Amino acid sequence: MKFVHIADMHFDSPFTNLVTENHMGEARRLEQRNILKKIIEYIKENKIEYFFIAGDLFEQKYVRKSTIDYMIQLFQTIPSTKIFISPGNHDPYIKNSFYKTVDWGKNVFIFGGEIERIEENKIDIYGLGFTDFYLEKSPVENIEIKNKEKINILITHASLNASDKLEKLYQPISEKKMENLNFDYIALGHIHKKWDNQNEKNRILYPGSTISLGFDEPGEHGMIVGEIEKNKTKIDFIPLDETYFEEIELDISEINSEEELIEKINEIKIQKSKFIKIILIGKRKFEIQKNKIIKLIENKNILKIKDNTKINYELENLAKENNLKGIFVRNMLKKLEENKDQKEEIEKAIEIGLDVILNR
């Protein structure tokens, strides 16, 4: 049997971390549509029998009916392909979900909150969906395969080997326990980076998010395609997203002015397919005005600037001086000690104040 496995498309995500004047959020939402169309075309051309969607297909909070209609129309163009959806924490199978209120078509099966087994001729497909935005205890580790002679598939949205409290809210499951279930393939969703863990018998895979949702998701994004016979599995990953997000560090310790910084940034060579966040590091000698700088940069593929620099003054030494400078720094350091949660704002105020004193 041949299949395609995707997860974490997050249709109609607001892309809040990419919202800029160049409408990147809107552009990424259009790319989501184009990439789903690519997947459907691949399924048609390669006569794929099964399409597994392991959760977070859309954003429950933001998804529009027109987006749901678009997906359904595409699914209807592959009537011979059986589509299985396991809702995740961003698109749970809840009362007002489009999973419940809309007809997805005869070839689409959506898993609910109980483990279900769909029997095919030589294949059994098990699945479990979220019925809330959290799922702290998972029943999937206790599945007993009914017919071990068949190809057995599991589709679900989960945190494999969850180690922190947050991830344990999203169906934490043990890798070892999942391996012991002896599925021929386990199609997971939730982790946005493609990752596979394989041994001779099992396949437990995340395809990662289908498109990158921002700077915290570098690398390739796409889909898993596979072909399974009993005790024989062939797996490939096909990249789909042509847009890459990267972070570049720039040390400004030797840069003396805002104008010089802008010149340095403009000298950075950037491929058209890449979007960049500049992270400024080192000791600054001038005030960093991120919003002003981003507007003056020539290359609009630079979307964001993050200021991780430190003030270029020895404050403890300045505080010992018996002059206006020393009085100002002593007062500000006292304020900083009393308001540690406002460290960034107070350091910025110290920088501006010292610039005024030194240049008056």
> In sequence order, what DSSP letters do the residues of 47-94 get, joined into one string?
T--EEEE-S-SB-TTT--HHHHHHHHHHHHT-TTSEEEE---SSS---
Phi, psi of 132 (to 5 degrees): -155, 180
Calpha distance 335→345 (Å, rounded): 11
The structural domains of the chain, with segments of one domain joined by +, span: 2-239, 244-309, 313-360
Q: What are the tokens at 150?
A: 């068949």
Dihedral sign computed on CA atoms, order 95, 73, 56, 15 = negative
Average pLDDT by consecutive 10-residue portion of the chain (360 residues)? 97 79 79 97 98 98 97 98 98 97 97 96 96 95 95 97 91 94 95 69 86 89 93 91 92 93 94 91 87 89 89 82 91 90 84 74
What distance, in Å, lies between the first and last C-alpha atoms of the chain? 77
Task: Find out whether 112 and 131 touch, Cβ atoms under 8 Å.
Answer: yes
How far out from the chain centre does Cα 195 lie?
A: 13
Determine the pLDDT at residue 20.
60
Task: Find out whether 167 and 132 touch, Cβ atoms under 8 Å.
Answer: no
Q: DSSP state, 278?
A: E
Determine the pLDDT at residue 202.
61
Determine the pLDDT at residue 155.
98
CATH class of the domain at 2-239: alpha beta
46: left (phi over 0), alpha (psi -120 to 50) or beta: alpha
Determine the pLDDT at residue 87.
98
Helices (H), the chain: 24-45, 65-76, 98-101, 175-180, 258-266, 290-296, 315-319, 324-338, 343-358
Determine the pLDDT at residue 25.
82
Beta-carbon contacts of 2 under 8 Å, excluding residues fewer than 6 positions away, are 46, 47, 48, 49, 50, 225, 226, 227
Determine the pLDDT at residue 264.
94
Determine the pLDDT at residue 201.
54
Q: What is the CA angle 232-236-240, rounded to 5?
A: 155
